[in-house]
Amino acid sequence: MRNPMNAAIVDRDLKPHRAASPAPKVLLYSHDTFGLGNIRRTLLLAEALGQAYPSASLLIVTGSPMIHAFRIPPCTDYIKLPCLTRSDADRYEPTYLSTERAEIADMRRGVLERAVLGFAPDLMIVDKRAAGIGGELLEPLKSLRRTHPAAKVVLGIRDILDAPAPTRLSLRRARDMRTIARYYDEVWIYGERSIFDAVAEYGFPSEVAQKTRFCGYLKRPTCRIEPHDGPPRVLVTTGGGEDGTELIETYLEGLIALPRSVALRTTIVFGPQMAASDQQRLLTRFGAIADVTFLDFDPDLSSRYAWADVVVCMAGYNTVCELLSTAVRAVLVPRSRPVAEQLLRARLLAARGLFDIVEPDALRPDRLIEAVRRSLARPPAHVPVDLDGLPPRLAVIVSGFPRRSETFALAELAALDDRGMLAAVFSTKPGEDGLAQPAVRNLRHRVRQLSGPPAEQAAEARGRLDATRISGVHAYFAHTPAVVASDLARALGVPFGFSVHARDARKVDRTELHDRARRAACVVACNADVAAEFDGSGARIDLVPHGVDVRRFTGERRSPTGVLNMLAVGRLVEKKGFHVLLDALSMLRMPWRLRVIGEGPEGDRLEAQARALGVADNVTFCGAATHDALPYEYARADVVVIPSVCDRAGDRDGLPNVVLEAMASGVAVVAADVGAIGSAVRHGVTGLLVPTADAPALAAALTEVASSPDARQRLGAAGRHVALREFDDRCCTRRLASVLGDAYA
């Protein structure tokens, strides 16, 4: 298991101010008022920092009334601020002291300023409130910037703060965006952009958006889940417990209403902030129920989660992180006041199939118990969610950018950027002019073209990076980009690696390729065919397919007609085998049409071949198309043909994008059995495979699919199922991010 905070980014933030110091200092501010979420998150970060830097000194400044109940990590101490309680989204009142709110505010500000200036941290991590409660951090931040200008200041916020409209208003009122722009170096969002894009939803201005990194949900330590033979086990917990009485009471009322034949072995954890009178009332009413255990509080619930078959709980951030880390079933009953954070989180995660949800206004004993039983009836969800914590920052070296045929690189770069891993992108040669994929506009301004031979390109990239913080250098393609990446990484003192795709591996001498792979921190192959180029090298090769956007290529189909509508997509080059396809078409005896999407040096020759074979009237060469036009093309096709061959130079396809796009679109596939195409197109299941460069066999396969619309529908449906299960680009890019995160951490 990886630490919840990746040590690489912490190291970069600690170096500038006190690089020679053997004992870096970190201050963590947690304003805690209601519940346990902020302080538990802060303690988790402190523990990870202490593990990464055993000689570090960590100081927590917090308003949590419960910090004394938790284990304080090594090398960590804390200062306790007077407690406040939030009465609404932006208003706080003294919790225990009969003192004017202004006097409490003055006390807190004074303690904070003396702590910040006296401790003089190298890194200050502020939880959630950029200016602190009531602006109490503004003067300390101003003083820190004046007296210790090299100190790094980071704002960490959970995945969701509140609904977008009130959050935008709250941020404006508190002038948080102005504070972030003025005093903060980075913003870390402890969540996943694909689940909730806080930057967009909360309207972060560009100067703040550029500082923001999505870090993934924070992975929690877990215990191994032990199987058991008894009745199902249910854990009911409400975090701090201050507002948990209704949830516990509702569950217990549902439990006693169950038939005697239904047994649920239950543990109830009240929480340290539940009123003693509420605890006593619950024990008086329900304490005698068989197979129910009551606990006051457990500061470490990891063993309880491992014990449970299902957890009934609210949807606080830390609770959700624990559930995701343990991969346990859960029924979420989110809090809806004073903010909508839990309600939004629960709905979004339930929509992904991760958990069940009972809406707060629908909370009744029968509905809650039914949700528990429904959850127990199915296996735990395995939808992947990013739990990697803070990511490394990479410089990426590509070949030409942009290139229309390399949509895989574009999608993966965008995914790395979404995860905050993309620090810089350099290209070793110009990209293509003309039409560009729509997603290019978000990355084009980030790409810097290098000039000269590889050594000069590496030196230029080193100069352009200047003070940019880099954890590693990763190349797309095994030839020139990998050489530049290796040289640049050596100059920066960081590891390098590369992704290998097809022809690029065969452009490099085998001995040199294997040596390069052994020196790399990681080598990522997109299919088994290209991975085989490294057989005997002794290097570790991670197999990560590119994947396909199954949300854009949807499987919507038009009704078949009496004409077989065929589609071929790819560059007009020899290895795509379009010349073999034209030969096969000349042998067909049923009505057909073919659309060819793509351009390339073989275009004129292919058009001449079509005329010579007498099939030109049925073939439309459409030229190049951007990726956003392709779903329409697949939707109107009855079959997609991939007639790939090994060309005279020895180049061949691996697993071309068109295969996965066609399968995701629910279109029957007829393909040549070359490269790694057979890893996705399973003969007779998801498509038909024919020997490569065999026009008669290809013609026979096309005749077969033309004769049976039902068979085409069956092949297409099975293909989409495989695309969803094995090649969903969200899963593939998460896998890639995980591989790169481990390699460059």
pLDDT tens track for 63-114 = 888 888 788 988 999 999 998 887 665 677 888 888 888 898 899 999 999 9
Q: Phi and psi (nearest 5°) for 94?
A: -55, 140
pLDDT, position 649? 86
| DSSP assignment string, 584-631 | HHTT--S-EEEEEEB--TTHHHHHHHHHHHT-GGGEEEEE---GGGHH
Burial of 165 (0-12, 13-18, 19+ CB in 10 A): exposed
Each residue's pLDDT tens digit, 546-571: 889 898 898 676 667 789 999 999 99
Give the number of C-alpha atoms closer than 13 A to the C-alpha of residue 239, restricted to the C-beta side: 27
Q: pLDDT-derived band of residue 407, with 50, 70 and 90 as boundaries?
A: low
Q: pLDDT-derived band of residue 6, with 50, 70 and 90 as boundaries?
A: very low
Architecture per CATH, 564-726: 3-Layer(aba) Sandwich (3.40)
pLDDT, position 688? 97
CB 146 within 8 A of CB 49: no
Where would I find the H helices in 311-468?
317-326, 341-351, 365-376, 407-418, 454-465
CATH topology of 7-214 equal to that of 394-547+730-744?
A: yes
What topology is assigned to 394-547+730-744 in CATH? Rossmann fold (3.40.50)
Homologous superfamily of the 233-376 domain (CATH) = Glycogen Phosphorylase B; (3.40.50.2000)
pLDDT, position 612? 97
Q: What is the pTM of this model?
A: 0.56
State how far the Cα of 359 lies from the Cα of 9, in Å rounded to an integer: 38
pLDDT, position 9? 32
**Reduced 3-state DSSP string for 357-385:** ECCHHHCCHHHHHHHHHHHHCCCCCCCCC
**pLDDT at residue 20 above 50?**
no
Nearest Cα residue to 529 out of 436, 630, 650? 650
Give percent of the chain above pLDDT 70.
Answer: 90
CB 140 within 8 A of CB 118: no
pLDDT, position 4? 35
State how far the Cα of 333 lies from the Cα of 356, in Å rounded to an integer: 9
State how far the Cα of 118 lies from the Cα of 140, in Å rounded to an integer: 11
- Residue 325 token pair: 């880390």
Torsion of CA 316, 112, 203, 734, to 10 degrees: -50
514: left (phi over 0), alpha (psi -120 to 50) or beta: alpha
409 compared with 115, residue with greater pLDDT: 115
H or E, element range at 14? helix 7-14
Q: Which of 249-253, 293-297, 383-387, 651-655 has the lowest mean pLDDT?
A: 383-387
**3-state secondary structure at position 436:** coil
State how far the Cα of 738 lies from the Cα of 419, in Å rounded to an integer: 11
pLDDT, position 318? 85
- Residue 547 token pair: 């994947």
**pLDDT at residue 235 above 80?**
yes
Q: pLDDT-derived band of residue 385, with 50, 70 and 90 as boundaries?
A: low
Burial of 466 (0-12, 13-18, 19+ CB in 10 A): exposed
Average pLDDT over residues 213-228: 76
pLDDT, position 687? 96
Q: Phi and psi (nearest 5°) for 421?
A: -95, -15
Angle between helices 176-183 and 138-147 (to 10 degrees): 10
Instruction: Compute the mean pLDDT over every residue in the chain, rounded to the nearest whole number.
Output: 87
pLDDT, position 396? 95
**pLDDT at residue 411 above 70?**
yes
- Residue 271 token pair: 């929480």
Each residue's pLDDT tens digit, 301-345: 778 888 899 999 999 988 898 888 888 899 999 988 888 999 999
Domain spans in the chain, listed from the N-terminal domain onward: 7-214, 233-376, 394-547+730-744, 564-726
What topology is assigned to 7-214 in CATH? Rossmann fold (3.40.50)
